[in-house]
Amino acid sequence: MNSPASFGSDNQAPAHPSVLEALARANSGHTPSYGADPWTERAQELFRQHFGPHTRAFPLFNGTGANVLGLSSILRPHEAVLCARDAHVDVDEGGAPERFGGFKLVALPTQHGKIAPGSIEASLGYVGDPHRVQPRAVTISNATELGTVYGPGEIESLAETAHAHGLLLHMDGARICNAAVSLGLSFAEITTRVGVDVLSFGGTKNGLMGAEAVVFLREGLGEEFLFLRKQGMQLASKQRFLSAQLVALLEGELWRENAAHANSMAQRLAAAVARAPGLEIAEPVQANAVFARLPKATIGELQQRWPFLVWDEQANLVRWMCAWNTRAEDVDAFAADVHAVAGKFAR
Ligand SMILES: Cc1ncc(COP(=O)(O)O)c(C=O)c1O
């Protein structure tokens, strides 16, 4: 079944053929269940190579599970998480943090989807007040929900501010491959080496069929995560199939190639539509998403032909997302349609 090209989400892309081949290779014979298999051991080794020797990675099914369990593993019942106001964990996880994690999220103001150290400090005025929830962690998404990327200096200053106040830094890395490639840096250079404590590592948006991991980057963290993952319903009995996907992504260059392609298609799209009448590129294009503002009528007509997300109805803000399999000719055809439709309504 062949469906038309989509700019709806990197989740709408298929799994990369080499991931399917890795799954087929893993699909042979009996192997110990619940993570005691050789694929999980190899994935663990690869996470240590990419992130540093103290790394402990726990494969699981999805990003919401990774965020909710990763964060709740570092919080006590009266503690909270500071996040960006656009954070997926706050606005797009269906109340899972509140219901299953049992923690409160405190949304901070953003610029281009990013928070700044000053807004962390500004939200600490009530520390020690028993009537107030006590912040214990800061979470940032890299790449952000708005397709921008925190550089290592920005992450380091957020980590320094968080640590100075006894808070830990969590990164939602649903698109960490896109962020690392955009910066031309290794995973460790944007996480472990700049003070990130816990990471939700994302693979699904970058060519996997469905596998993510909670990754603890410091000694002393995640000691009880084995139990929490099971209790949190994210322990796969046939874990070899999650781990085999992560191995396929991290063993060679697949993580980099897939993300580099998706990012370059977003650049191509942004450049191609930038001069369409009435269109404004709304956010810096630094990963695999293009955010644009354009007249409502243009959005409506384009949506009849191309799947994409209206991010903010009131603001006429749309998101066009590229993926590892986005074809240059589809980008060009879409951009030509954007020009044609925008031109029609501009007349
Ligand atoms: C920033 C971010 N974090 C996490 C997720 C993970 O979501 P899911 O639970 O659908 O895998 C997503 C998916 O859209 C996302 O965009």
Find the angle CA(282)-CA(202)-CA(281) to the nearest 5 degrees.
10
Q: How far is the CA of 141 from the centre of ligand 1 (A)?
A: 10
Element (H, E) at 312: strand 309-312
For ligand 1, atom 4, name the residue with the nearest CA.
63
- Are residues 242 and 280 both part of a single domain? no
Q: How far is the CA of 200 from the centre of ligand 1 (A)?
A: 10
Give the nearest ligand 1 atom to 205 CA.
13
Give Rg (Cα) of the chain.
20
Strand order in the sheet with 289-293: 280-281, 289-293, 317-321, 309-312
Long-range contacts of 305-310 (CB under 8 A, 24+ apart): 305/337, 306/4, 306/5, 306/6, 306/7, 306/334, 306/337, 307/4, 307/6, 307/7, 307/8, 307/12, 308/6, 308/7, 308/8, 309/8, 309/9
Domain membership of residue 229 as a residue range: 16-250
Strands 168-173 and 79-84: unpaired
- Are residues 265 and 228 both part of a single domain? no
Residue 196, Cα to own-chain centre: how many angstroms? 15
Q: Are 83 and 138 in contact (CB under 8 A)?
A: yes
- Are residues 106 and 186 both part of a single domain? yes
> Residue 4 falls within a domain, yes or no?
no
> Residue 69 falls within a domain, yes or no?
yes
Model confidence pLDDT, tens digit, residues 159-189: 999 999 999 999 999 999 999 999 999 999 9
Mean per-residue pLDDT, 48-64: 98
Q: How far is the CA of 61 from the centre of ligand 1 (A)?
A: 11
For ligand 1, atom 7, name the residue with the nearest CA.
63
Pocket of ligand 1 (CB under 6 A): 62-64, 88, 141, 145, 172, 174, 204
Residue 154 tokens read as: 């920005």
- Are residues 81 and 153 both part of a single domain? yes
Model confidence pLDDT, tens digit, residues 296-313: 999 999 999 999 999 999
Is the model's pLDDT at 65 over the cut of 80? yes
Q: How far is the CA of 63 from the centre of ligand 1 (A)?
A: 5
Percent of the chain clearing pLDDT 90 (strictly above): 97
Mean per-residue pLDDT, 244-273: 98
Q: How far is the CA of 64 from the centre of ligand 1 (A)?
A: 6
Model confidence pLDDT, tens digit, residues 21-38: 999 999 999 999 999 999
Residue 174 tokens read as: 């649903």
HSE at residue 53, side-chain half, CA atoms within 13 A, is: 0
Mutate to test the pocket of ligand 1, among 100, 110, 172, 201 (most ligand atoms within 8 A of CB): 172
Is the model's pLDDT at 3 over the cut of 80? no
Mutate to test the pocket of ligand 1, among 69, 88, 150, 214 (most ligand atoms within 8 A of CB): 88
For ligand 1, atom 8, name the residue with the nearest CA.
63
164 CB-contact burial (10 Å; exposed 0-12 / middle 13-18 / buried 19+): exposed
Helix, strand, coil proportions of the chain in percent (round to 5)? 45, 15, 40
Q: How far is the CA of 345 from the centre of ligand 1 (A)?
A: 35
Residue 169 belongs to domain with CATH number: 3.40.640.10
pLDDT of residue 307: 95
> Residue 5 falls within a domain, yes or no?
no
Q: How far is the CA of 90 from the centre of ligand 1 (A)?
A: 11
- Are residues 198 and 266 both part of a single domain? no
Element (H, E) at 241: helix 240-250
Cα distances (angstroms) measured from residue 296 to each of 271, 315, 317, 344: 21, 9, 9, 13
Report field, pTM of the whole predicted structure over 0.95? yes
Q: How far is the CA of 11 from the centre of ligand 1 (A)?
A: 9
Model confidence pLDDT, tens digit, residues 214-231: 999 999 999 999 999 999
- C-alpha span between 247 and 242 (Å, rounded): 9
Q: How far is the CA of 92 from the centre of ligand 1 (A)?
A: 8
157 CB-contact burial (10 Å; exposed 0-12 / middle 13-18 / buried 19+): middle
Closest CA to 207 of 38, 2, 8, 12: 12
- Are residues 38 and 163 both part of a single domain? yes
Last residue of a domain, one of 231, 250, 269: 250
Mutate to test the pocket of ligand 1, among 9, 64, 199, 319 (most ligand atoms within 8 A of CB): 64
Strands 289-293 and 104-108: unpaired
Helix and strand numbers (H, E) in the chain are 13, 11
With cut-offs at 50, 70 and 90, classify the pLDDT of residue 346: confident
Question: To the nearest whole number, what is the mean pLDDT of the chain?
Answer: 97
- Are residues 137 and 214 both part of a single domain? yes
With cut-offs at 50, 70 and 90, classify the pLDDT of residue 139: very high
How many domains, the chain? Answer: 2
